[in-house]
Amino acid sequence: MARFVFKRIAFMLITFWVVISVAFFLLRLAPGGPFDGDRRMPPEVEENLLKAYNLDDPLPIQYGRYVWNLVRFDLGPSLKHHDFTVNELIAAGLPVSLSVGALALVIALVLGIPIGCAAAFRHNSWLDNCLSSTTTFGLALPPIVTGPLFVLLFAVTLRWLPAGGMDAATSLILPSIALAIPHAAATAKLMRGSCIDTLRQNHVLTARSKGLNSLRLAIHHVLPSAMIPVLSFLGPAAATVIAGSLVIEEVFSLPGLGRYFVQGALNRDYTLVMGGVVVYAALILMLNFVVDTLYFRFDPRIRSQSQAQAT
């Protein structure tokens, strides 16, 4: 186990460094700089700005400085949000993005798992057809479509929930649901397939033949095995939910990290975009690490494979 974890951590750090380095140089390749616009500034104004943000140094020196500061958790000043550091902006935006993402993931699991189970237990029935059609429809509903529709219905017409912003805890409800729908549908589809496979296994057939009721059968015999594919899906799903929050934050004017990321990219705010890349890369790598470790812990096949490689 320790060897597995050590290898994964080493792999994670190398991947993180590659992502940061590629992002750093790719950003500088994009045409237009942070201080460019329709009006060209006089050369001395541009020089003053470049000097103020150390952008007048050669690129390798800027890269070295960035990596050194990153090691000390200093993401630098924002080139556009002059009154804040990138650390301050991320500290303000990340909790919002994580709240929306986490809530969306919980909703996706709470809806997806029972729907998938119900469809599998009533395989090929009218209920299965109905739920399967609904999940297919859900998969085809991206947040950019459902978001504005939810706002029109629940905020503009019914006035039940806020249309945007982050004035109350209720501001998270609509964005989380919009973000959760495709993931709930994907979880349901995965769960259905996995449950159907498990239901055909001998230990489940034996339990059923002994007269065990459906609920107990599901909880004690089907779910533990059927959940493994869902568990492995959680890592990529969490990453997609975090990435999906870029869109949802624009639609709902949420003060999350995604909005900074999008606006930073358009404004060529190099340090802010790099801050976003650092956070997203770290989150996605850590989520994958957690899922891989859990998978290693719970799936005996992987454990034995790893042990065989070690010997």
Partner 1 sequence: MIHSNRFQTICQWFTAALFSLPLVGGLAAEEKSSLRIGSPGDPQTLDPHRYTLNVEEHILKDMFLGLTTMDAKGAIVPGSAESWDVSSDGLVWTFLLRDNAWSDGTPVTAEDFVYSFRRLVDPETAAPLAFFLYGIENAREINGGELESSELGVFAQDSKTLEIRLERPFPYFTERLFYPTGYPVPKHVIEKHGSDWIKPENWVSNGPYSLTDWKPQQAVELQRNPHFYEHGNVKIESVKYVPVADALAGYHRYLAEELDIVGDFPAGEIESLRESHPDQLQLSPLLSTMYLVFNVTRAPFDDVRVRRALGLAIDRDKLTRKVLRSEEIANASMVPPMVPGYKPSITTNSPDLALARSLLAQAGFTEEEPLKVTLRYFTGAESKQVHVAIAAMWQEIGVQTSLHNTELKVHFSDLHSGDFEVAQAGWFGENNPEHYIELLWSQIGSNNYGRYQSAEFDGLLEQAKNTVGQKEREKLLQQAESVALNEFPVIPLYSVTVRNLVNPRVGGWYTNPRNSHGVRYMTLK
Give residues in contact with partner 1 (CB under 8 A). Answer: 30-33, 35-42, 44-45, 48-49, 51-52, 80-84, 88-89, 92-93, 148, 151-152, 155-156, 158-170, 173, 215, 250-256, 259-260, 263, 266-268
In three-state secondary structure terms, 53 is: coil
Residue type, 254: L
C-alpha separations of 281 from 126, 243, 287, 291 in Å: 43, 11, 10, 15
The distance of closest approach from Cβ of residue 206 to partner 1 in the complex, given in angstroms and rounded to an integer, is: 23
The distance of closest approach from Cβ of residue 83 to partner 1 in the complex, given in angstroms and rounded to an integer, is: 5
Question: Is the CB of 67 or the CB of 168 nearer to partner 1?
Answer: 168
In three-state secondary structure terms, 99 is: helix
Question: Is the CB of 36 or the CB of 74 nearer to partner 1?
Answer: 36
Other C-beta atoms lying within 10 Å of the C-beta of residue 2: 6
Question: Is the CB of 71 or the CB of 169 nearer to partner 1?
Answer: 169
| Residues with Cβ within 8 Å of residue 140, at least 6 apart in sequence | none
Question: Is the CB of 164 or the CB of 236 nearer to partner 1?
Answer: 164
Question: Is the CB of 78 or the CB of 132 nearer to partner 1?
Answer: 78
CA 234/CA 211 separation, integer angstroms: 33
The distance of closest approach from Cβ of residue 72 to partner 1 in the complex, given in angstroms and rounded to an integer, is: 20
The distance of closest approach from Cβ of residue 107 to partner 1 in the complex, given in angstroms and rounded to an integer, is: 13
Q: How far apart are the first and last CA of the chain?
A: 14
The distance of closest approach from Cβ of residue 130 to partner 1 in the complex, given in angstroms and rounded to an integer, is: 20
Angle at 261 between CA 38 and CA 28, to 5 degrees: 60
